[in-house]
A = this chain, B = another copy of it.
Amino acid sequence: MSDVSLAGLSAAEALLRLERGLLTSEELVGACLERIRQLEPQVQAWTYLDEEHALAQARAADERRRSGAGVGALDGIPVGIKDIIDTADMPTENGTVLHRARAPHRDAAVVSRLRAAGAVIFGKTVTTECAYYSPGKTRNPWNLEHTPGGSSSGSAAAVAAQMVPLALGSQTNGSVIRPAAFCGVYGFKPTHGLIPRTGILTLSRALDHVGIFARTLADLALAAETLAGHDEGDPDTHPRASLRFAEVLEEEPPIAPMLGFVKTPYWDRATEDTRNGFAELVEALGDRVEEVDLSPFAREAWAWQKTIMEVDMAANLEREWLEGAERLSPQLRALMERGREARAIDYLKALRAVPRVVASFEELFVERYDAILTPAAPGSAPKGLESTGDPAFCTLWTLCGMPAVSLPLLQGSDGLPIGVQLVGRRNFDARLLRTARWLVRRLEADA
Q: Which residues of A contact B (CB under 8 A)?
A: 311-312, 314-315, 318, 339-349, 352
- Bound-complex Cα distance A315 to B346 (A): 9
- Bound-complex Cα distance A314 to B345 (A): 7
How many protomers of this protein does the assembly include?
2
Instruction: Choose among B314, B339, B343, B349 the residue that contacts A341 (Cβ–Cβ < 8 A).
Output: B343
- Bound-complex Cα distance A351 to B65 (A): 49
Chain B residues whose C-beta falls within 8 Å of the C-beta of A339 in the assembled complex: 344-345
Chain B residues whose C-beta falls within 8 Å of the C-beta of A340 in the assembled complex: 343, 345
Chain B residues whose C-beta falls within 8 Å of the C-beta of A314 in the assembled complex: 344-345
Chain B residues whose C-beta falls within 8 Å of the C-beta of A352 in the assembled complex: 315
Chain B residues whose C-beta falls within 8 Å of the C-beta of A312 in the assembled complex: 348
Nearest-neighbor residue (CB-CB) of A311 within chain B: B344
- Bound-complex Cα distance A341 to B343 (A): 6
Nearest-neighbor residue (CB-CB) of A307 within chain B: B344
Which of A312, A339, A341, A348 has most chain B Cβ within 10 Å?
A: A348
- Bound-complex Cα distance A348 to B340 (A): 11
Chain B residues whose C-beta falls within 8 Å of the C-beta of A342 in the assembled complex: 343-345
Chain B residues whose C-beta falls within 8 Å of the C-beta of A347 in the assembled complex: 344, 347
Shortest distance in angstroms between A9's beta carbon and chain B's nearest beta carbon?
A: 45
- Bound-complex Cα distance A163 to B348 (A): 41
Nearest-neighbor residue (CB-CB) of A346 within chain B: B344
- Bound-complex Cα distance A340 to B347 (A): 11
Chain B residues whose C-beta falls within 8 Å of the C-beta of A341 in the assembled complex: 343
B345 touches A318 (CB 8 A): yes
Chain B residues whose C-beta falls within 8 Å of the C-beta of A344 in the assembled complex: 311, 314-315, 339, 342-344, 346-347
- Bound-complex Cα distance A314 to B348 (A): 10
Shortest distance in angstroms between A409's beta carbon and chain B's nearest beta carbon?
A: 40
Nearest-neighbor residue (CB-CB) of A318 within chain B: B345
Chain B residues whose C-beta falls within 8 Å of the C-beta of A349 in the assembled complex: 315
Nearest-neighbor residue (CB-CB) of A316 within chain B: B348
- Bound-complex Cα distance A91 to B306 (A): 41
Shortest distance in angstroms between A349's beta carbon and chain B's nearest beta carbon?
A: 7
- Bound-complex Cα distance A337 to B270 (A): 43
Chain B residues whose C-beta falls within 8 Å of the C-beta of A348 in the assembled complex: 311-312, 315
- Bound-complex Cα distance A348 to B339 (A): 12
Nearest-neighbor residue (CB-CB) of A336 within chain B: B345
Nearest-neighbor residue (CB-CB) of A339 within chain B: B345
Return 11 A-B CB contacts under 8 Å, by A number. A311-B348, A314-B344, A315-B348, A315-B349, A340-B343, A342-B343, A342-B345, A343-B343, A343-B344, A344-B344, A344-B346
- Bound-complex Cα distance A311 to B346 (A): 10
Chain B residues whose C-beta falls within 8 Å of the C-beta of A343 in the assembled complex: 340-344
A311-B344, A341-B343, A343-B343 given; name 5 further pairs at CB < 8 Å. Answer: A315-B349, A339-B345, A342-B343, A342-B345, A344-B344
- Bound-complex Cα distance A341 to B345 (A): 8
Chain B residues whose C-beta falls within 8 Å of the C-beta of A311 in the assembled complex: 344-345, 348
- Bound-complex Cα distance A198 to B342 (A): 30
Shortest distance in angstroms between A311's beta carbon and chain B's nearest beta carbon?
A: 4
Shortest distance in angstroms between A347's beta carbon and chain B's nearest beta carbon?
A: 4
Shortest distance in angstroms between A212's beta carbon and chain B's nearest beta carbon?
A: 29
